[in-house]
Amino acid sequence: MKKIGIIGGGAMGSGIAQVFAQSGHSVVLYDTNKEALDRSKQNLAKTFEKLVAKEKYTAEKAQEIQNKIEYADSLTAFASIDLMIEAIIENLDIKKSVFKQVEEIVSDECILASNTSSLSIASIASACSKPERVIGIHFFNPAPLMALVEIIPAVQTREGLADEVKALIQSVGKLPVITKDTPGFIVNRVARPFYSESIRLLEEGVADAETIDFAMTSVGGFRMGPFELMDFIGHDVNYRVTESVFESFFYDPRFKPSFSQKRLFEAGYYGRKSGRGFYNYAEGVEKKAPSQDQALLEKIYKRVLVMLINEAADALFLNIANREDLDTAMTKGVNYPKGLLKWADEYGLEKVQDDLDELYNYYHEDRYRLSPIIRNYVKENKTFY
């Protein structure tokens, strides 16, 4: 595969274009909006100025890489590409329409991929006359810096294509994992409790956002607390993904969104980008000091952790991915301090079982149901590793 076509001149599309150009591929970056293309070109030039200043590249090499990217406002530029990656709005109807258009222009051998973070690849593929060449290739933002790439074959995807794409992604210096075409794939599925259970603790009045964030960073070792992270991602993105995963899982209570985040979304309080989310980012406003109560901090950390472990274990139980890819996805995709299945072994599977059973017995809610694989492993005295 030598020529890559990218649809979408936003941050994600531009980042993916940079990844492939840096690895020697010719890239065509397409967007219907010429301003978006101009902005992408300018931003890339600034990025390489910084990389040259840091002596990562010579000026000549930086220019050579930039010259590998062609900026196109017509899809006809895709006539000779080998791989198309779509990186546009998370709207299924729009994506299906785009794939249908692209298929009329590219060669019969061209692979068609979506960078969707949670939508069904099978549904996108259904819009194509050759659905066997459609696959998911999900980069994480910012694409040039994040190592993880989720590869998602659909039920229609031809046998062997996932391995071909995996080899390509490895060749551009990324770390690919293969996952089933289920809502949220690995990362956006397994990470849900980090947000949802933290919000639940807030709503119940167990602790404030500052204390929950502090518990997860100081005791859990996470780089960012859940409320800081949601505000950073943006509630327009995070809430919509939560809502999409919930709906796609046939309204399984484990993935139920919260009214707290919905109200922020409705108010336009998207987080850092809007100046207000769970925190107020106005000038001069300082966060409250978190509680230093170690028993409380430990309680928060353990409750969120066992929920995360349970979700990772259930993904393994349902063969969404193998244990290595599940753990790699969480350490490289969202920078968790440890893979959750390894963490489960360290924490103790019997303790995970007891903690979740206690939550279930208290609330009698399906969100706290224990994955059968944990109960089975406890009975058989087995561990994940």
Residues noted as catalytic: 117, 138, 150, 188
- Residues 213, 227 contacting (CB under 8 angstroms): yes
Query: Using CA atoms, how far apart are residues 325 and 60, in angstroms rounded to an integer?
Result: 38
- Tokens 């791989």, residue located: 83
Label residues 255-273 b or e (16+ Cβ within 10 Å = b).
bbbbeebeebbeeebbbee
Q: Could you count the other beta carbons within 10 Å of the beta carbon of residue 33?
A: 13
Q: 260 phi and psi, to 5 degrees?
A: -60, -45
Q: How far is CA 63 from the centre of its chain?
A: 31
Q: Which residue, among 53, 55, 39, 45, has the nearest Cα to 21 in the 3D structure?
A: 45
234: left (phi over 0), alpha (psi -120 to 50) or beta: left
Point out which residues pair with 151 in neighbouring strands.
137, 178
Return d(Cα 331, Cα 308) in angstroms, integer: 13
Cα separation, 350 vs 236, whole angstroms = 38
Work out the number of other CB atoms within 10 angstroms of the CB of residue 240: 15
| 12 vs 17: CA distance, rounded Å | 9
